[in-house]
Amino acid sequence: METDLFESVTECGCAAKVPAQDLASLLRGVEVPADPAVLVGADTLDDAGVYQLSSEQCLVQTLDFFPPVARDPEDYGRIAAANSLSDVYAMGGRPLTALAIVCFPSKLVRQGILAAVTRGAVEKLREAGCVLLGGHSVVDPQPKFGLAVTGVIRPQEVLTNGAARPGDVLVLTKPLGTGVTIMAVRAGLASTEQERSVNRSMASLNAKAAELARRCGAVCATDVTGFGLLGHAMQLARASGVALEIGFDGVPLLDGAPGFAEQGLLSAAAYTNRDYVGDAVRFDDDVPLPARDLLFDPQTSGGLLICCPAERAAAFVGWAREEISTPFGVVGRVVEATGRALIVVRRRTRSPAEAGGDKP
């Protein structure tokens, strides 16, 4: 189909999110009704809500939508669906049903673009074993598409961003760099293979990563999307009352991403993410600027950041090599919170023996 969806928007994918600090201010001013059945609500800025129906079952509910993140409509649909499903996987849940959220220009509807986007989304829903029940559409000058997803989980199996424990090993299950790579694609600076690679990564489901998290006994995870690795890591650290040490050399990266960052191909969201994290992060002097930028880069349909029990980390890595299709990496560790900085970024993560038990 001859179309380039990038021509119809000003922002792409999760880079179009409202800045995190603005959302935080909004939530502080809203009084949410209390309900003891709410196991995970808005207070910890987690990936989805969890509502307990019985002693054996909870609902996991989320929604996500964004402007086009790929030139091709079916790629856009696949990525939007994978991104929406990811919030359920990040909670450890199994997605069951979805409703489409559609804001589209009339012209693109008549040209069959929306139909192609929907085909791509349904392909990913089928892969996830999730049923599309319907949706709602409005006419909008700039296209946006996504899903509201409902899943299920047992109460004792819920993963949250508030349960990290000192000693846990941090594993990231997809490479960083979607934001700068999308900017490079729009600018005509990315190769065809780099464009295909970023689309494959964004369209990959986090289902297997969530399964491995449960298998290794993890109780804490979050998915990395529009607020960047450091934004979501900071939310996890605050919710858990811990600090994190991240080693950049262990972070998986998309091919070409370091070069794109060095060229300054950053979206506005990367700068608002940096403002959001502020002095909660401290960088060692030997961490170069492009590396720092990539840690703030807004991700679309990124991987899971999993807090794996240290004694199971080697097993997790072995399973991931066999069962996860995307590049992954051991990116850091959880430590006790003792100072102002919730996150210290080093060139590489030190082992507990090297660190001597020190804290950020």
Please report, for residues 148, 149, 295, 303, 305, the alpha-carbon distance to residue 346 in angstroms, rounded to integers and kept in the order given.
38, 37, 12, 21, 17
Element (H, E) at 114: helix 113-128
Other CB atoms within a 10 A radius of the CB of residue 272 amount to 23
**Cα separation, 287 vs 264, whole angstroms:** 16
Two tokens at 194?
Answer: 């780099």
**Residue 14 annotated as catalytic:** yes
Q: Give the span between the Cα atoms of 205 and 222, in whole angstroms.
A: 14
The residue annotated as part of the active site, out of 14, 216, 220, 308, is 14
Task: Please report where in the chains the tokens 């049923």 appear, as a residue.
Answer: 131
318-355 burial code (b ≥16 CB/10 A, e <16): ebbeeebebbbbbbbbbbebeeebbbbbbeebeeeeee
CB-based contacts of 162, cutoff 8 Å, min separation 6: 44, 46, 220, 236, 239, 240
Catalytic residues: 14
